């Protein structure tokens, strides 16, 4: 039996309509929490659906639906993180979180400064550290409520959040890029990468640039992280020699808090996010795994 399954959920005496309304009010926030915990929209949706089943059966005398639902979703995510870590050990090529393009929903009101860079840094945290950091620092949950959720003393939770904060500090956004400059660099990079223009790329990339490409073994992608501008330039030049430049830019977009774009190449849609620091592209995150792009609706792509 998992921790989440051990939560007692007596049969509800609340009216079904009010129960559904309370859940719908929190649903977007819960999906965002599940995504930040797991890095997967499909798994976040599954967790939130499981939370609904527990919420539907819960005692009608709950003082705070938001706190109760947050507790359930967090514990379900903690259970899933165990198997997720073992799956990622056998994942083919670099693993990246599902790309969050803009907001999950135009009405989404939760704003945070978590980028894909920070998401990857959180992968190095323990599940409890990740939960404490997200709940307290990102979702503004009171320390006492986080302690109840994690079944730890407040002092222990404070230490968990503090350790997590120190571990991810270097990945926190530190370099603000003006929107116009971000668009210029993004569009220039797309054209240069498509055309294999090494001179233009050399002017855009940092010397220690990294390229992470997630195909999940389902589509062609770089099997290892590419390090350094020289290797990156040879890679793009080689791709251009092998293939005519047929990639099409669908639109620029904010992807997990970073400037980037959605493109299509020979019928395959991909997202590219650029971590720009001091006017140079420091890291490139490319998601090509079709399983991680299913949540991008026609409206998002179009």
Q: What is the per-residue pLDDT across 67-81, written as a single tens digit (0 to 9) for each?
A: 999 999 999 999 999
CA distance 284 to 217: 19
Question: What pLDDT digit, counting tens, does each position of 275-291 carry?
Answer: 999 999 999 999 999 99
Strand partners, 264: 248, 269
- In this prediction, residue 240 carries a pLDDT of 82
Distances (CA, A) of 140 to 143, 145, 224, 269: 9, 10, 36, 35
Spatial strand order of the sheet with 248-255 comes to 226-227, 205-214, 280-287, 268-277, 258-265, 248-255
- In this prediction, residue 297 carries a pLDDT of 57
Answer whether 51's CB lies under 8 Å from 69's CB.
yes
Question: Strand 226-227 relative to strand 280-287: parallel, antiparallel, unpaired?
Answer: unpaired
CA distance 240 to 245: 7
Question: What pLDDT digit, counting tens, does each position of 172-194 carry?
Answer: 766 678 989 999 999 999 999 99
Q: Which two tokens stand for residue 269?
A: 């849609």
Backbone φ and ψ of 66, nearest 5°: -60, -45
Which range has the worst mean pLDDT, 100-109, 181-190, 218-227?
A: 100-109
CA distance 92 to 87: 10
């Amino acid at each position: 039996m998992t921790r989440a399954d051990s939560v007692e959920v007596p049969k509800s005496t609340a009216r079904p309509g009010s129960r559904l309304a309370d859940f719908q009010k929190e649903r977007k926030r819960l999906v965002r929490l599940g995504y930040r915990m797991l890095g997967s929209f499909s798994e976040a949706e599954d967790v939130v659906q499981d939370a609904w089943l527990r919420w539907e059966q819960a005692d009608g005398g709950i003082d705070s639906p938001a706190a109760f639902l947050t507790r359930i979703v967090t514990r379900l995510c903690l259970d899933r993180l165990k198997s997720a870590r073992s799956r990622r050990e056998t994942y083919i090529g670099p693993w990246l979180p599902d790309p969050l393009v803009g907001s999950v929903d135009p009405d989404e009101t939760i704003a945070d400064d978590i980028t894909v860079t920070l998401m990857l840094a959180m992968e190095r945290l323990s599940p409890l550290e990740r939960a404490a950091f997200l709940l307290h620092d990102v979702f503004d949950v009171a320390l006492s409520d986080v302690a109840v959720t994690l079944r730890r003393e407040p002092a222990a939770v404070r230490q968990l959040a503090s350790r997590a904060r120190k571990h991810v500090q270097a990945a926190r956004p530190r370099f603000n890029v003006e929107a116009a400059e971000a668009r210029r660099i993004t569009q220039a990079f797309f054209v240069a990468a498509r055309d294999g223009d090494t001179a233009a790329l050399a002017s855009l990339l940092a010397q220690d640039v990294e390229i992470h490409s997630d195909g999940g073994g389902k589509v062609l992608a770089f099997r290892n992280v590419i390090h350094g501008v020289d290797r990156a330039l040879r890679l793009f030049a080689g791709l251009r020699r092998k293939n005519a430049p047929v990639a099409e830019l669908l639109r620029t977009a904010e992807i997990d808090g970073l400037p980037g774009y959605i493109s299509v190449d020979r019928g395959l849609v991909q997202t590219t996010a650029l971590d720009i620091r001091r006017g140079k592209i420091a890291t490139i995150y490319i998601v090509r795994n079709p399983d991680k792009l299913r949540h991008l609706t026609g409206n998002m792509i179009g």
